[in-house]
Structure 1
Amino acid sequence: MLKIAFDQSFILPLPEGHRFPMAKYELLPQQLLYEGTVKEENFFVPEIDASPWISQTHQADYLERLVSGKLSKAEIRRSGFPWSREMVEREFLLAAGTVQATKFALNYGLAMNIAGGTHHAYSDRGEGFCLLNDQAIAAQYLIQEKGFTRVLILDLDVHQGNGTAEIFQNEDRVFTFSMHGEKNYPMHKEKSDLDVACPDGMEDAAYLALLEEKLLEVLDTFRPEFVFFQSGVDVLASDKLGRLALSMDGCRRRDAMVLQNCYQRSLPVMISMGGGYSENVSTIVNAHANTYRLAQEIYF
């Protein structure tokens, strides 16, 4: 059964004019239920305490400042979010959802988080709407609790997974693969195990050919035991922050390529949604919904 982390606290009210699209977290479950892709029983509210793996991922002094509300003005500005107790609780719950989804993926083959993909969070700070790095935290769970030695974090958001790269820069058990816009945020890129920089305006054919080449290379050489997939839909031509030019079908084919290759290799996969900033929220929701449709089709 496909299991999906979701809680109403993922939809946190933000100041008017804030550009982070919280609405998609409410609309996406509604769309999936309406069209029959999933049922209520597919959703779960995170119930575990992810603190042990959060503390293994993020530095203690940063966590103390985050929880106690002692972040500096510069740190708050860099994170993109105004600090609030509700925001901190949301981030801890979101990370717990990804860890719990990882457990479900071990049992069922694949699991997802309606939110997540907070790949700009470093070990010692937040950035770019990311305060805690959910997939890095869940990777620590696999390493520390399950003894995994080959974990792949495949990041296809249009923005480089800079925080993830920094967290695992000296960790051979995690392979970080980021395929992102060459000239997009962040301007200073960290060094992933594999960085694939895409030029502005890259379209479906070139993008998919390059992804296939690099994905197969990593799967065949690193031979992961588990895959975290950051499936941001800000690669779309319609995205306000993306600068690439994938069509809706191209984005869907990207996800199909990833999931089919993982399924053929019997690899468990945990998917976090990542970014999506198209002007029309229905475009964002439909693009994300494609990932769920494919998950059901390929894995279940």
Structure 2
Amino acid sequence: MATASSSIPQPRLPAATETVRRNRILSSKLYFDVPLAKVPVIYSPSYDIAFLGIEKLHPFDSSKWGRICQFLIKEGVLDKNRIVEPLEALKDDLLVVHSESYLASLKSSLNVSIIVEVPPVAFLPNWLVQKKVLYPFRKQVGGSILAAKLAKERGWAINVGGGFHHCSAEKGGGFCVYADITLCIQYAFVRLNISRVMIIDLDAHQGNGYEIDFSNDSRVYVLDMYNSQIYPFDYEAKRYIDHKVELVSGTKTKEYLEELDKALEVARNNFDPQLVIYNAGTDILDGDPLGRLKISPEGVAIRDEKVFRFAREKDIPLLMLTSGGYMKTSARVIADSITNLSKKRLIDMEVLQSRK
């Protein structure tokens, strides 16, 4: 198990490589000062993917992110003028984690189509794939990275997007092209003076990407609760989970929440994080074709509330990523859950206080 020791051993890169990585992080423009008049909710219209109708061939709801915000704005929970728009993660930003060869592979439309699992993409010119598919993902990566800074300052942050937990430094998969969780943590290590991060991954799928990336890094504690009977079946990555809860298809709300309570208690007793990254996939919903669990919308709201209370009780900054969810109802469920968090005063959409 990872510990909270201040002298945690860290994996060592060659000195030159580590220096280059640090310099890239320090020179990045993805961290910028956000006025207190803004709330720590991060979104850009560029998140949403639409091109030639091809997005309709994909199981992912590529307009989910925008509709979440629309629901919150319509119901008066969120003022559209107070949303934070992130910058795009550029090549130098991505090279903090990804290799030149991996990024070069994304210049092939065929390679991109394999990762996002939309075969027609393979026949499109790369400039169009870059603009209509990869640019939205890079904006979401910028949002995930900025969310850590905002969480540290405000106590919480929500990137209405991100959570690409199947992507590692050298390999994409499962609709995940860039390793935003790994990038977010590497930036936090350098820019926020943080050395202990807990990932709470409650997407229906195992978060194998960052698990591989942090396989030998005891600064990162992983709590991963997922359906063991679905993709990605990554048995190597499972070895690097500090506390795993393997569910089976058809798990219902009551059992799910009971397992979550026990898992959070184990995490509470085994690690003292300075930052919590919450991967809050809604593919656990009953009826989701890829998650195959049977959790009610109310169960999702209770789940999110439990995780936010976990962080609030220990005064730990928390950032939430929306991750997977493959039904049109997911946007409504996420918006309702954020509304519930606001009503329960676990997030504050009105009165903002700096936490520096």
TM-score (norm 2): 0.78
The answer to whether 1:267 aligns with 2:313 is: no
Q: CA deviation at 1:257?
A: 0.5
Q: CA deviation at 1:271?
A: 0.7
Aligned position for 1:214: 263
Over 3 Å counting, the alpha-carbon distance change for 1:58 and 1:155 in structure 2 is same
Q: CA deviation at 1:50?
A: 6.3
Aligned position for 1:25: 65
The answer to whether 1:196 aligns with 2:245 is: yes
Q: CA deviation at 1:180?
A: 0.4
Is this contact kept in 1: 2:88–2:135, CA < 8 A? Answer: no
Aligned position for 1:44: 84
The answer to whether 1:133 aligns with 2:174 is: no
Matched letter for residue 151 of structure 1: V
Paired residue secondary structure (2:175): coil
Aligned position for 1:172: 218
Q: Deviations over 1:14-37 (max 9, x none)?
A: 514222211212211110000111
Q: Distance in 2 between matches of 1:220 and 1:58?
A: 33
Larger radius of gyration: 2
Q: Which moved more, 1:184-193 or 1:174-183?
A: 184-193
Q: Distance in 1 between matches of 2:78 and 2:265?
A: 30
Aligned position for 2:138: 92
Q: Distance in 1 between matches of 2:57 and 2:40?
A: 33
The answer to whether 1:13 aligns with 2:50 is: yes
Q: 2:153 aligns with which of 97, 107, 129?
A: 107
Paired residue secondary structure (2:158): strand
Q: Deviations over 1:162-213 (max 9, x none)?
A: 1111111111111122110010111334222222110111111111111111
Alignment length (residue pairs): 294
Q: CA deviation at 1:235?
A: 0.6
Q: Distance in 1 between matches of 2:163 and 2:99?
A: 19
Q: Which runs of 5+ in 2 are unaligned?
A: 1-37, 349-356
Aligned position for 1:298: 346
Q: Distance in 1 between matches of 2:338 and 2:193?
A: 29
Paired residue secondary structure (1:242): coil
Aligned position for 2:306: 257
Is this contact kept in 2: 1:2–1:110, CA < 8 A? Answer: no
The answer to whether 1:124 aligns with 2:162 is: no
Q: CA deviation at 1:76?
A: 3.4
Q: Distance in 1 between matches of 2:144 and 2:171?
A: 20
Q: Distance in 1 between matches of 2:228 and 2:303?
A: 18
Q: 1:142 aligns with which of 182, 185, 188?
A: 188
Aligned position for 2:13: none
TM-score (norm 1): 0.91
Is this contact kept in 2: 1:165–1:193, CA < 8 A? Answer: no
Q: Deviations over 1:232-251 (max 9, x none)?
A: 11111121211111111111
| Superposition CA RMSD, Å | 1.9
Q: CA deviation at 1:215?
A: 1.1
Q: Percent identity?
A: 27
The answer to whether 1:2 aligns with 2:39 is: yes
Matched letter for residue 212 of structure 2: E
Q: Distance in 2 between matches of 1:201 and 1:42?
A: 39
Matched letter for residue 130 of structure 2: R
Paired residue secondary structure (1:261): helix
Is this contact kept in 2: 1:126–1:132, CA < 8 A? Answer: yes
Is this contact kept in 1: 2:277–2:318, CA < 8 A? Answer: yes
Q: CA deviation at 1:144?
A: 2.2
Q: CA deviation at 1:62?
A: 0.5
Paired residue secondary structure (1:112): strand
Residues 214-233 of structure 1 mapped to structure 2, 5 A cutoff: 214-233=263-282
Matched letter for residue 255 of structure 1: D
Matched letter for residue 35 of structure 1: E
